Amino acid sequence: MPPLASLRDHEWTLSSLVAELGPLCAGLPGGGDERVSPAPDERTIRYYQSTGLVDRPLRYDGRTAVYGYRHLLQALATKALQSQGLSLAQVQSALAGRSTAELEIAVAPALGQPAPVAAGPRPLVAYELAPGVVLSIDPARVPHPAALAQLLATTLSNRSKP
C-alpha cells in the first residue's frame, strides 16, 4: 500500500476514486457494523457529499466530477470511524471542520502507517499599537507585518486624538 503522502497530487474521477479507496479501506480494522460496506461505492460517495462528510468535487471536466486528495482522506476517515462502530452522525461530528493535515493524522494509524508529523505552531510577531493594545501577526500570511502594524498604529493614534 503506498504511503498516503504519495497520493497528495493525484486527481480522480468518481469511479477511479472508488477504485483507489477499495484497497485502502481493505486495510482498515474490522469490528464495525456488518451492515456497513468495507469500502464506499460511487453512490455512497455521492451520499457522503450530500451529508457534508465529503466536500464537493474540485471541479467538473464537462460532466465528469474530479476529486482530489482531501476527498480520499474524508472517505477514508469516514470508513475508519465507521469500522470502529461510530454512526454517520457521530462521524460527521468527529470530522466537522478538520483540516487536510488533521485528516492525514487521523487515518494513517488506521492504515498501519506512521502518522505524519504535525507542523507546530508558527511563530507570530507582536506589535504594541498603543498602551494595552497588542497586535499579533503571522508573518507567513502577511507579507510586510511591520508596515501593517505601523499603519494600524498610526490609524489608531489619529482616531484617539480629539
Chain segment 6-47, per-residue pLDDT in tens: 888 999 999 999 999 999 888 777 655 566 778 899 999 999
The CA distances from residue 22 to 34, 40, 140, 159, in Å, are: 17, 8, 38, 61
Domain positions in the chain: 4-111, 125-160
Q: How many CB atoms lie within 10 A of CB 49?
A: 19
Per-residue model confidence (pLDDT) at position 62: 94
Q: Provide the CA 68 distance to its chain's centre, in angstroms.
A: 11
Per-residue model confidence (pLDDT) at position 89: 92
Please give the Cα distance from 114 to 148 (Å, whole number): 41
Q: How many CB atoms lie within 10 A of CB 144?
A: 11
Please give the Cα distance from 73 to 143 (Å, whole number): 31
Per-residue model confidence (pLDDT) at position 116: 66
Per-residue model confidence (pLDDT) at position 19: 95
**Average pLDDT over every residue of 71-86:** 91
Please give the Cα distance from 58 to 81 (Å, whole number): 24
Per-residue model confidence (pLDDT) at position 120: 63
**Out of 3.40.50.970, 3.40.50.300, 3.30.9.10, 1.10.1660.10, which CATH number does the structure's domain 4-111 have?**
1.10.1660.10
Chain segment 92-139, per-residue pLDDT in tens: 999 998 898 889 888 888 777 776 665 566 688 898 888 888 999 888
Q: Where would I find the beta strands (DSSP E) of 57-159?
A: 59-61, 64-66, 125-130, 133-137
Per-residue model confidence (pLDDT) at position 142: 78
Per-residue model confidence (pLDDT) at position 14: 97
Give the side-chain half-sphere CA count within 13 A for 54: 28
